[in-house]
Amino acid sequence: MTGKPITEKPITEKPKRPPLPTHALRPLGRIRRETLAAWTARTQQALITVDCSGCADKRDVLSAIARALELPSWFGLNWDALYDALTDLPQQRPAAGYVLLLEHLPDGPRFGTDERAALLAVLRDTVDDYAERKIPFRVLYD
């Protein structure tokens, strides 16, 4: 020992990387909801959870999304209105970024392949819009 005092350097942690790219539309996969909630809180991003349990058709799904986004009762239950509502989020609910979590999307005769494809197309367009504005926006679904 040289007799010099030991000085501790502060521990600097690298900020944890987000579990997803800045702009994404993808299935939830193995990402745990608790991890996602903690990450969005830590990074000051808005986590908007849409519970589609019990939804059977397009109207039900759009109504569930409208409830989660706290849209007014006059919200038009159509794909164009959904796109407008989602792209207006920064004015309605300012945040560092957004994560839209669609839980329990239906997969039945009244919300089949065509309706799911239409919803995903709107969400893809929304993600692209946010990418152009350089605002993080992620959509996860199961």
Q: Is residue 94 part of a domain?
A: yes
Q: Domain count for the chain, please give it.
A: 1
Residue 69 lies inside a defined structural domain of this protein: yes
Q: Which residues contact 123 (CB under 8 A, 6 or more apart)?
A: 25, 86, 100, 139
Residue 8 lies in a domain: no
Over the stretch 61-106, which tens digit does the pLDDT of each residue have?
999 999 999 999 899 999 999 999 999 999 999 999 999 999 999 9
What H or E segment, with its residue span, contains residue 72?
none
Q: Are 77 and 63 in contact (CB under 8 A)?
A: yes
DSSP E strand boundaries for the chain: 23-27, 46-51, 98-103, 137-141
Instruction: Give the CATH number for residue 76.
Output: 3.40.50.300
Question: Domain span at residue 109?
Answer: 23-141
Answer yes or no: is 17 within a domain: no
Residue 14 domain flag: no
Q: pTM for the full model?
A: 0.85
* Helix segments in the chain, DSSP class H: 33-42, 58-69, 79-87, 89-92, 113-133
Domain-located, residue 128: yes
Q: Mind listing the pLDDT tens digit for each residue in 13-49?
A: 444 555 589 999 999 999 999 999 999 999 999 999 9
